[in-house]
Amino acid sequence: MTEAALPAPVAAPAVDRERLTAIGFVLPSFVIIAGVFALPLVLLLGVSIVDANGLTLAHYKRLLGTPYYLGVIWNSLRLGLLTTLIAFLISYPAAFALARARGPLRSVLLATLFLPLAASVIVKAFAWTILLRSDGIVNETLMALGIIEDPIRMIFTETALIVGAVNIFLPFMILPIYAIVAQLDPRYAEAAATLGASPVGTFFRVILPLTLPGIIAGVALVFSLSVSAYVVPTLLIGEKYPTLATMIAKAYLLAREPGFGAAAGVVLLGIAIAVVALSARLSQEPK
């Protein structure tokens, strides 16, 4: 009887100590995340649903009920979707090339990918304005070669915006895909081939599904970065392409409408969360 009862009081403190240790480890990061991320978001949410008269949904009604603002939301989505799609189309083959590269070539390629991350977004966006403006390098070169007679209008067009955004966010697509591709056992493709799959069949039935986690990570990163980009649209296209991010800045800094700005911020956050949650779902293994 005592034998059966004995282990319990001995084991209990050990488990408690383990739990305490675990809590001790988690606590600092919990405090940081709660204080630095969660609290401001709660405040943001709070500001978005009050005005001078108390609680209200007026800011959201204005944002989602006015065609102009719906256009702004669409601009943000369009920027995010186009940037993500084009970045993916460039990154997927690039990640394979990177994984195939050996020795010094691989180091050089990786360095060219990492180095731009060290430069500020503002610097890179300005660099694009210098390249693309009417008397910029691209136009001068094309005219010098006699390919065009008059400068093409590139800066402050959607093309400039997308080109700049793709360039700036590209590493965030290539790197996660590369991380998966570099781990991919070449035997999978060989096994598929010996089982009778053509190269195209092997790609769609084996390579693409196996690299999907990298694609999803890259898409989630690049989409959430580009949909909320502020510097890139401000410098490369400006007033005529208002996005949620540029509009939020204006609401706070110029119009002094923190409630409306906060509501736009919540919508933007909602879009980003939706995409990340969807990605997380997709990257879970089926069954």
Partner 1 sequence: MSEATPHLVVRGVSKRYGPTTVLDHIDLTIRRGELVTLLGPSGCGKTTLLRAIAGLAQPDTGKVELAGRNITNVPPHKRNVGVVFQSYALFPHLTVAGNVAFGLKVRGAARREIDAAVERALSLVKLGHLAGRRISALSGGQQQRVALARAIAVEPDVLLFDEALSALDRKLREEMQVELRRLLQDVKATAIFVTHDQDEALTMSDRVAVMNKGRIEQLAEPRELYLRPASLFALNFVGLSTRIPGTVLAADNGKVDVETKVGRMSALGNFQTGASVIVAARPEQLRLGEQGEANSAAGRVRSVVFQGSRTLVEVDAGAGESLLAELSGRDGAIPRVHDEIRLSWPVAETFAFPMEVQT
The count of other CB atoms within 10 Å of the CB of residue 246 is 22
Contacts of 58 (CB under 8 A, 6+ apart): 51, 259
Residue selected from 163, 166, 206, 244 as contacting partner 1 according to rule CB under 8 A: 206
Residue selected from 40, 209, 238, 270 as contacting partner 1 according to rule CB under 8 A: 209
Return the number of the residue (50 or 210) whose C-beta is nearest partner 1: 210
At closest approach, how far in Å is the CB of 207 from partner 1? 11
d(CA 105, CA 138): 28
Return the number of the residue (191 or 255) whose C-beta is nearest partner 1: 191
CA 258 to mean position of chain CA atoms: 25
Query: What does the per-residue mask of binding to partner 1 show for 268-287, with x meaning CB under 8 A?
Result: -----------------xxx
Q: What is the dihedral of CA 261, 267, 271, 274, to 10 degrees?
A: 140
d(CA 165, CA 223): 11
Return the number of the residue (179 or 249) whose C-beta is nearest partner 1: 179
Do β-strands 50-51 and 54-55 pair in parallel, antiparallel, or remain unpaired? antiparallel
By the rule CB under 8 A, 40 interacts with partner 1: no
Region of 66-74, 103-111, 209-217, 239-247 interacting with partner 1 (CB under 8 A): 209-217
Compute how many residues bind partner 1; rule: CB under 8 A: 23
CB burial class (10 A; 0-12, 13-18, 19+) of residue 61? exposed
By the rule CB under 8 A, 239 interacts with partner 1: no
The residue among 234, 258, 260 whose CA lies nearest residue 245 is 234
At closest approach, how far in Å is the CB of 284 from partner 1? 12
Query: What does the per-residue mask of binding to partner 1 show for 210-229, with x meaning CB under 8 A?
Result: x-x-----------------
d(CA 220, CA 112): 23
Which two tokens mark 67? 């065609």
DSSP secondary structure letters along 45-96: HHHHTEETTEE--HHHHHHHH-HHHHHHHHHHHHHHHHHHHHHHHHHHHHHH
By the rule CB under 8 A, 149 interacts with partner 1: no
At closest approach, how far in Å is the CB of 210 from partner 1? 6
Q: Report the site for partner 1 in 186-205 (rule: CB under 8 A).
A: 187-188, 190-199, 201-202, 205
Query: What does the per-residue mask of binding to partner 1 show for 82-111, with x meaning CB under 8 A?
Result: ------------------------------
Return the number of the residue (138 or 193) whose C-beta is nearest partner 1: 193
By the rule CB under 8 A, 181 interacts with partner 1: no
Site residues, partner 1 (CB under 8 A) = 185, 187-188, 190-199, 201-202, 205-206, 209-210, 212, 285-287
